[in-house]
Amino acid sequence: MSSSNPSMALAASAGVAGLAAGVILTLGALGPAGRAQVWRRVLSSAGLGGNTQLMQRLDPSKAIHREWLSKMKAFIFDIDGVVHVAGHAVPGSPEALAALNAAGKRVIYMTNNATVTPESIAATFEGFGAQAKPEQMMTSAIAAARYLKAQGLEGRKVYVIGMDSMAAELRLRAGVVTFGASEDANKGRPEVEAEFKSKPMDPPLEEVAAVVVGADYLVNYYKLARAANYLRQNPKCLFVATNPDPRAPLGKSAMIPAAGTLVQALATACGRQPTMMCGKPSKDLASYLLESEGLDPSTTCMVGDRTDTDIEFGRSVGMQTLWVESGSMTLDEVEAVGEGSQPHFVAPSIATLTSLLKQ
């Protein structure tokens, strides 16, 4: 530690020593991670913690948290598990969104759910009393379409493991020719044997420019086998995934497998990892959002229910981050990840933002 005033440096050192003495007896009972966290808190209390910001619970009674909210000019919200769960509003979310709008905050929505469109999201919001416009929405399907277009694949064939809504977005926004999706929903092992075992793939391997994988409620053995053959037999075929989410909330306690489950199954079968992961936590997508919307990361907050997608997405470009307990991860799981991957703030739900604005 350096200081222009030796007595101040000595006093600070003595303060650290005093704080350390207060916890030293506890350290022996903790594991390495626990001991490291205690020391970081000691240093932080002494003003020696550097730029490390420990995860804080948002508290409307604290002036520092109200001041933080006043400085935020924009919020990017994940949707599933944050605004609603299976089409039912998280309690207090419509009011929180309305309060942010009334306070002049920019509100944008970014979902890794590739089965929905901006129009369908806006309609769902309207159904539980929240107002939002399609132009406020970004989905992982739209991000995938932009990636395909950037690769110059207009007019090329793309195999889809996903819902028809995602295939439609790819055709609309990237100009590609899609096949698969619901067309292959009722096929199984007999069709795999008949179509792949002794005759060439149809369409031919060299004509398929990409395989795009997103959430697919009609996924089956045939789809995985067909996609795996295109990817394994043609190294030039792009492997595009919409997002890595392993699961999504369904109701108050149930979970369902999400797109990441299918991505990993296909990666195992074809022996390749995705060429591009288009949704959160893509840093490229985060940078694109900030630039296209004219946002400053220091006054923009990413709000989500997963650390490995939402929070990583925000932190990758220097945004503030808020994790809420209304979705698919528990607080224990969040506390178990490294501090560099933890959110800046936690709250039971986005309803806390309403309380902060009212104080």
Per-position DSSP letters for 268-323, written without gaps between them: HHHT---SEE-STT-HHHHHHHHHHHT--GGGEEEEES-IIIIIHHHHTTT-EEEE
Cβ atoms of residues 274 and 241 within 8 Å: yes
Place of tokens 């808020």: 322
Q: How far is CA 257 from the centre of its chain?
A: 15
How far apart CA 307 and CA 315 sit, in angstroms, is: 10
How far apart CA 238 and CA 246 sit, in angstroms, is: 21
Query: What are the backbone dihedrals phi and psi of residue 51, each rounded to the nearest 5 degrees, phi first?
Result: -95, 5
Cβ atoms of residues 211 and 239 within 8 Å: yes
How far apart CA 51 and CA 35 sit, in angstroms, is: 19
Catalytic option among 59, 78, 216, 296? 78
Q: Is 243 exposed, middle or buried (0-12, 13-18, 19+ CB in 10 A)?
A: buried
Which of 115, 3, 108, 109 lies closest to 48 in space, CA to CA? Answer: 3
How far apart CA 347 and CA 58 sit, in angstroms, is: 6
Catalytic option among 80, 216, 308, 310? 80
Amino acid at 303: V
**Is 80 one of the annotated active-site residues of the chain?**
yes
First to last CA, the chain: 40
**Is 78 one of the annotated active-site residues of the chain?**
yes
Distances (CA, A) of 201 to 26, 126, 192: 65, 45, 10
Cβ atoms of residues 132 and 97 within 8 Å: yes
* Long-range Cβ contacts of 50-54 (<8 Å, 24+ apart): 52/339, 53/344, 54/339
* Residues annotated as catalytic (active site), given as ranges: 78, 80
